[in-house]
């Protein structure tokens, strides 16, 4: 990759590169992924000499690394190669067995292992080393998410005047939770290497500022932290989705075909949809328990409603995740066995991922979308459902613990710990008159359309530029 150009570029850094890998006949092929983040950042990293740095998603033997680097360079991507041990300790270990549970308030799930932490530090250093091979002094750096909390600080030491933004996609917990982490000061010191720190919600911002001022020698004034002559701005940037993609997909031939296939024979059935990655933070088991409660308390709905539950395999090498999968399998099997009839089944459960066309068909035809995470940074599924409802009908039931609930206030909002509350919300949704559905959905669609993922990207970059400019003018005063 040509790094001689000294003009300013934007460098995105995340744990994973936005690619799908196909390994066939000893050949690697990389296809750009269509995930929300990749779509939103597409205009940024594909333009000019801007790039995206991250792990390509597989262990590449040393002798093949040059070849893979060349292939990725054609997509404006720059790889950080990780070994299986690093994946085990830094990603599955520290990121997903310490930070993920603690940041989602499930502190008893955390394993504070010293070797996880050691590896987390060394992998963050490794990312910095790779980044330094392609970074220029004037580049704008945008680091993504909790796997790289130390990276802003490491890069700040190497490039004291760099423009560094950081966005965290998962919640930031309250001080009383965060303080439990043995390496809490180190993590915060890493983060405040950034000029601008973004979270999905104002609550996350509040928690971060209060935590930083209690644990570090920093001062705060409103949403600005001051440390060693530097100022760090902390703000909420609620992430959006590609609204036009989801609203446009429903009319395509492929999706229409899926809709017909899906709805045939279910004309009178009320369909409830649930889509998540396998994760204990998503409240999947609790949702199933609420459905069981509903079938017990409102037997008139037996045979009249069906839950379509897609659980996308995720992190299944982490013990808590395989345990959860087992529990879900058992619960669904038990519930279906007890309630099913010869031609009806309460839960249609899928443990796999589907093409976007199938997702779109489900989004656009399901009468209710049930999104009840115990904690969620944002939750894009809720927004994708809304964007797919071109007729303004359908009801979104949304957990108050999801960042999205701060924007989608016209959803039926529930406390995901209150199974009775979820049960009643489903009944409310089943009975909701069309006019009320449309009123609520229209209001939510306007929000999802306006505050889309492009808006999110532009807004963050714009703020990062402003923050840096104001720092420069402070220094010259």
Closest CA to 224 of 241, 212, 239, 240: 212
Using the minimum distance from each CB to ligand GDG, give the nearer residue, 20 or 137: 20
The CA dihedral of 207, 398, 428, 336, to the nearest 10 degrees, is -120
Active site residue: 169, 200, 207, 243, which one? 169
> Can residue 277 be called a binding residue for ligand GDG (CB under 6 A)?
yes
Compare residues 162 and 309 and give the one whose CB is closer to ligand GDG: 309
Interaction pattern, residues 304-343, with ligand GDG; x per rule: CB under 6 A: ------x-x-------------------------------
Of 205, 147, 151, nearest to 174 (Cα)?
205
Active site residue 455: no
Q: Which of 242, 292, 367, 384 binds ligand GDG (CB under 6 A)?
A: 384
Q: Using the rule CB under 6 A, is 73 a contact of ligand GDG?
A: no
The yes or no reply on residue 232 touching ligand GDG (CB under 6 A) is: no
Distance of CA 471 to the CA centre of its chain: 30
CA 111 to CA 97: how far, in whole Å?
6
Which of 194, 239, 318, 444 touches ligand GDG by CB under 6 A? 239
Site membership for ligand GDG, residue 361 (CB under 6 A): no
Describe the crossing of helices 319-339 and 284-297 by its angle, rounded to 10 degrees: 20
What are the DSSP calls for 391-449, one per residue?
TS--EEEEETTBGGGGT-TTSEEE-TT-HHHHHHHHHHHHH--HHHHHHHHHHHHHHHH
Can you give 100-166 as a three-state secondary structure string? HHHHCCCHHHCCCCHHHHHHHHHHHHHHHHHHHHHCCCCCEEEEECHHHCCHHHHHHHHCCCCEEEE
Q: Which stretch binds ligand GDG (CB under 6 A): 73-81, 348-356, 391-399, 407-415?
A: 348-356
Whose Cβ is closer to ligand GDG: residue 156's or residue 282's? 282
Query: Dihedrals φ, ψ of 251, to 5°?
Result: -90, -5
Residue of 379, 388, 399, 437 interacting with ligand GDG (CB under 6 A): 379
Q: Which of 242, 276, 279, 376 is catalytic?
A: 376
- Shortest separation between residue 354's beta carbon and ligand GDG, angstroms: 4
Catalytic-residue membership of 297: no
* Catalytic residue annotation: 169, 376
List of residues contacting ligand GDG (CB under 6 A): 36, 169-170, 239, 275, 277, 310, 312, 353-354, 356, 359, 376-381, 384
């Amino acid at each position: 990759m040509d790094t001689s150009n000294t003009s300013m570029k934007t460098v995105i850094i995340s744990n994973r590169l936005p690619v799908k890998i196909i390994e066939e006949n000893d050949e690697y092929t990389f296809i750009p992924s269509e995930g929300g983040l990749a779509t939103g950042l597409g205009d940024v990293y594909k333009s000019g000499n801007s790039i995206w740095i991250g792990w390509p998603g597989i262990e590449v033997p040393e002798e093949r690394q040059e070849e893979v680097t060349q292939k990725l360079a054609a997509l404006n991507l720059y790889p950080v190669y990780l070994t299986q041990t690093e994946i085990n300790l830094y990603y599955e270990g520290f990121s997903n067995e310490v930070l993920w549970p603690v940041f989602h308030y499930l502190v008893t799930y955390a394993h504070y292992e010293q070797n996880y932490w050691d590896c987390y530090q060394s992998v963050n250093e490794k990312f910095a080393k790779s980044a330094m091979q392609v970074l220029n002094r004037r580049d704008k750096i945008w680091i993504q998410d909790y796997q790289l909390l130390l990276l802003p600080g490491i890069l700040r030491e190497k490039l004291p005047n760099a423009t560094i933004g950081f966005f965290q996609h998962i919640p930031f917990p309250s001080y009383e939770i965060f303080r439990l982490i043995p390496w809490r000061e180190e993590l915060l010191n890493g983060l405040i290497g950034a000029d601008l720190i973004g979270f999905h919600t104002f609550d996350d911002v509040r928690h971060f500022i209060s935590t930083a001022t209690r644990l570090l020698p920093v001062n705060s004034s409103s949403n600005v932290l001051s440390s060693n002559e530097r100022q760090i701005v902390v703000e909420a940037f609620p992430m959006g989705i590609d609204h036009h993609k989801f609203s446009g997909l429903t009319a395509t031939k492929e999706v229409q075909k899926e809709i017909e296939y899906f709805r045939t024979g279910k004309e009178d059935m009320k369909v409830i949809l649930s889509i998540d990655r396998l994760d204990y933070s998503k409240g999947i088991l609790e949702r199933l328990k609420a459905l069981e409660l509903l079938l017990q308390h409102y037997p008139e709905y037996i045979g009249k409603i069906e839950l379509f539950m897609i659980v996308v395999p995720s992190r299944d090498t982490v013990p808590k995740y395989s345990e959860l999968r087992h529990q879900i399998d058992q619960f669904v099997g038990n519930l279906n066995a007890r309630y099913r009839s010869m031609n009806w089944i309460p839960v249609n459960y899928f443990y796999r991922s589907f093409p976007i066309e199938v997702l779109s068909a489900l989004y656009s035809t399901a009468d209710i979308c049930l999104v009840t995470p115990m904690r969620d940074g944002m939750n894009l599924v809720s927004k994708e459902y809304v964007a797919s409802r071109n007729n303004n009908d359908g009801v979104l039931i949304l957990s108050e613990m999801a960042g999205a609930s701060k924007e989608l206030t016209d959803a039926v909002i529930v406390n995901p710990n209150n199974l009775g509350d979820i049960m009643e919300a489903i009944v409310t949704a089943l009975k909701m008159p069309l006019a009320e559905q449309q009123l609520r959905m229209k209001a939510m669609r306007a929000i999802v359309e306006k505050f889309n993922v492009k808006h999110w990207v532009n807004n963050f970059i714009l703020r990062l530029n402003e923050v840096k400019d104001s720092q420069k003018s402070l220094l010259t005063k």
